[in-house]
Structure 1
Amino acid sequence: MSQRTLDRRTFVKATGAGTLVGLAGCLGGSNGSDDTDSSGGNGSDGATNVAIVYPVAGLGDQGFSDNAQEGLMQAEEELGISHSAGEPDSNSEYADFHNQFASSQDPDYDLIIGLTFDQVTPIETVSADFADQNWTLIDAAVEGRDNVSNISFTEHQGSYLAGTLAAHIATEGFESETVSASGEGVVGFVGGARNPVIERFEAGYEAGVEDFDESIEFRSAYAGEFNAPDQGQSIAESMYSEGADVVYHAAGGTGIGMFEAAQQAGRPAIGVDTDQSQTASDYSDVIVASMTKRMDSAVFTTIENVVNGDYDGSSDVQLGLADGAHELVYGQEIGSAVSDSAQEAVTTTREQIIDGEISIPETVDE
């Protein structure tokens, strides 16, 4: 498989474009049986046809999936594509959705997009039977397929910045009109299901904390799934009750429960994937910052490549801070309370990461 770097100008152009929210073409509903084209047609007008298979946690997570959907809708508006979507209820349905889209002749899909590590095996299996069908897997990689392109992210880089901020809060304390932290020297991390992607979040976050101050206590727990807000709340409640000054999540919809716990504890929290002080605005009073991951731009860019005839089925792209794929953005409501020293440290650290001056682990065992 070839390794290449995505043209940064192309990606930055996508990250700066406006998006629409909403999905008009949903395959599946509750039982995965209905196939609806977003344009009301079947692609006979010459439009590029795209199918996307969302994770089980699905739309409404106020983060990962919703952000990917924005990229799809941007492509509909700006590129004139038609699209359908699969929303599986369990991991066992992934292969069925991919097989159904690949088998379809009305419409005949120009591209099928899969999201997350859980779709590696289903795409690996189905793509072997449909050599003429193009896939893109975002957030993981399928090896050895000429008809599957891959886009992954350097979550450990962005999470290192989140760790830098968390370390400052854990040592300096934090005070806003709605939340406070006294600087107990404890930080927390809530993960969804354990996989290599989520471990990159944790590893980078922990490294950012420890590189600032090794004496800070680091606590981590996994819910085992991405759509269990009650479990996320329970985990975070335990962390806050045990002195955590701030907690960061990489848990999809499970992370909404972390924000609930933060509100109850009156402590700050760090969001993920999107600026969750905006996308999960009910919790803007506790979200001090978010580590963004531009799923919208990844989806839009890969569709744009297909529309322009530039699809490369052997490509393996990894996007990071230098590409604008990650940023640490401060919360709309309480982000202004972050100290100058913390903001300066984040800015300096970001530049050092881009310049290759900081080595960041990708696994918790490194």
Structure 2
Amino acid sequence: MIYADVIIIGGGAAGFFTAINAAERNPELKIIILERGKEVLTKVKVSGGGRCNVTHAEFLPKELTQNYPRGEKELLGPFHSFMTGDTIGWFSKRGVELKIEEDGRMFPVSDSSQTIIDCFVSETERLGIEVLKGQAVKVINKQDEFWNIETASETFSAEKLVVATGSNPKIWKLLEGLDHTIIPPVPSLFTFNIDDERIKNLPGISTEASVKVLNKNAKTILESEGPLLITHWGVSGPAILKLSAWGARLLEPTNYHFSIQVNWLLDALKEDTSEMLKDLKVQLAKKTVLKNAQFDLPKRLWQSLVTASGISETLTWADISKEQIVALASQLTESRFNVHGKSTFKEEFVTAGGIELKEVDFKTFASKKHKNLYFAGEVLNIDAITGGFNFQNAWTGGFIAAQSVAD
């Protein structure tokens, strides 16, 4: 039996952040991190394409919460205690400077996730935190005032337990055994698979668009706007990933078979677009429709939509018919696509699901069911859109849980 004051299950972002902050606050504590794998911080390593998207440059708590399809209400209080500015300061104090990119995402200046990993590892060494790898937890139970944790090779005992295991079904099962409710996990960040002639030969094209998810009656159930990226398998980009996050629970029952409607002109109406096309019929009379891209659309996308409207490559603007104008306006503002499946977005395997949020005290990140049991990160039913928000949840939860266990 190995004894500690605090045991943290999970050697990821939330687990390390909790351990380091608890040890700083109370250097007397014996803290052990148990990691099931051979490596720690594996998700940190691959995040943001290996650059680690540490957080997002949003500095108002209320605005920040609006990036969390699950957890929006619960995180408002915690973000008043620790959020983006605190994260930047925390890393800066340890020699890791962050930079803001145009879209608001924040990365280490080094552009390498290894900088974050090295920071965490050196801090645990400096503070005397034990990090034990290859320790998959099999049993969690409570005897008297102590938590007992059994792995394949060892038994641990501690007064305080922090669970920071992310989306780990085996740990969720153990927590169910402790009377916690687990919301079943479903994928949260994914791209849409579409097989359609209009976009088949356009991978790599990115443009601003607004996108709606339609139900069987063609009514809008979700919408977003932003950069849309055409890929080899369909569509991706922030506009799509926002829909996947907010629609995680709605889209799963359809087995990811549904329709979307894309407005390539953002908020332009079909009728107004028809009028603009009629003006172009006069202004560009002698030019061919296909070769003269309009509305700042990428040339190849314009050509594909023109072809889909039944307009031949030699047709001039002067000769375009009323029906063709209506068809083109429709393609530009109401392109319908059938989605048949999803693909994981890079290595961002984020899921919606986890511990029912009503069973957690968000002033301390403590369990309402058991004394001295705490949670941080994605083990909770909290998830965010892409852009550094999932890590910010890990830092905030880890920081507040650390204060709770250290006091």
Q: Give TM-score, length-normalised by structure 2.
A: 0.24
> Which has the larger strand fraction?
2
Q: Give TM-score, length-normalised by structure 1.
A: 0.25
Q: Which has the higher contact order (CA 8 A, sep 6+)?
A: 2
Q: Please say which structure displays the higher CA radius of gyration.
A: 2
> Which has the larger helix fraction?
1
